[in-house]
């Protein structure tokens, strides 16, 4: 038994391994906090969770309980086994330095892409290789005219969570998104908690 708890402080990122067969519970501690989520094959960092392949394989732009999350090689890496919210995003990239500079005129804002770059350095993944994230709890509506967004406050409340089952050995990266200039995180950046457990 190696149950493990990892706290991702609001606005920062962490990366950690998980073994095949274990469960990962990602919890919004205080509510209305987006968790950018990426996964890379622990034994081959050329294989990663691909939101494009996940959309294609599931035939849907959203994901829900029972869905698999697929890699760029079309292998199922994770299964969503529980979800107390049901509103997430697979379309947006990480926030990055240019997002804050172009849209808000702000230099040096904390951002998910650099959070991942720092967290994944020990696994040999550079800035340009950070995969597009699965944005847990992100509420970015799809509109009938084909547009999407603008993003609004997450539906998640304190204690809401998503449970994944790892289907292979993975490196998981999570960034508690530091976007505080739009309603994306309810204008209040808070912690995300990750728990790795053997059994539910």
Residues at the contact surface with Zn ion, assessed by CB under 5 A: 95, 112, 177, 179
Burial label, 189 (beta-carbon count in 10 A; 0-12, 13-18, 19+): buried
CB-CB neighbours of 92 under 10 Å: 20
Q: Which CB sits closer to Zn ion, 34 or 166?
A: 34
In terms of CB distance, is 40 or 177 closer to Zn ion?
Answer: 177
Tokens of 84: 């107390």
Beta carbon of residue 34, minimum distance to Zn ion (angstroms, whole number): 7
Least separation in angstroms between residue 112's CB and Zn ion is 3
86: left (phi over 0), alpha (psi -120 to 50) or beta: left
* Coil, helix or strand at residue 103: helix
Q: Which residues are bridge partners to 71 per DSSP?
A: 49
Give the three-state DSSP class for 54.
helix
Least distance between Zn ion and beta carbon 185 (Å) = 8
Which CB, 171 or 177, lies closer to Zn ion? 177
Q: How far is the CB of 138 from Zn ion (least distance, A)?
A: 9
Q: Which residue number, 58 or 152, has a Cβ lying nearer to Zn ion?
A: 152
Of 84, 65, 88, 69, which is closest to residue 158 (Cα–Cα)?
A: 84
Nearer to Zn ion, 166 or 177 (CB): 177
Between β-strands 76-83 and 170-176, what pairing exists: parallel, antiparallel or unpaired? unpaired
Element spanning 172, H or E: strand 170-176
The minimum distance between CB 41 and Zn ion, in angstroms, equals: 23
């Amino acid at each position: 038994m190696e149950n493990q708890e990892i706290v991702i402080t609001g606005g920062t990122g962490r990366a950690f391994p998980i073994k095949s067969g274990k469960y990962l519970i990602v919890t919004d501690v205080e509510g209305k906090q987006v968790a950018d989520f990426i996964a890379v094959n622990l034994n081959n960092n050329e294989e990663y969770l691909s939101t494009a392949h996940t959309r294609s394989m599931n035939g849907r732009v959203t994901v829900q309980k029972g869905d698999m999350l697929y890699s760029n090689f079309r292998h199922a890496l994770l299964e969503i086994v529980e979800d107390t919210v049901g509103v997430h995003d697979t379309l947006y990239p990480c926030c990055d330095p240019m997002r804050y500079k172009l849209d808000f005129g702000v230099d040096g804002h904390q951002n998910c892409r650099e959070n991942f770059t720092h967290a994944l350095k020990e696994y040999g993944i550079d800035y340009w290789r950070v995969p597009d994230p699965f944005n847990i709890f992100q509420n970015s509506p799809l509109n009938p005219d084909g547009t999407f967004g603008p993003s609004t406050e997450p539906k998640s409340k304190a204690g809401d969570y998503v449970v994944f089952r790892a289907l292979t050995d993975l490196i998981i990266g999570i960034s508690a998104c530091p976007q505080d200039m739009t309603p994306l995180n309810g204008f209040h950046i808070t912690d995300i908690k990750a728990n790795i457990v053997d059994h539910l």
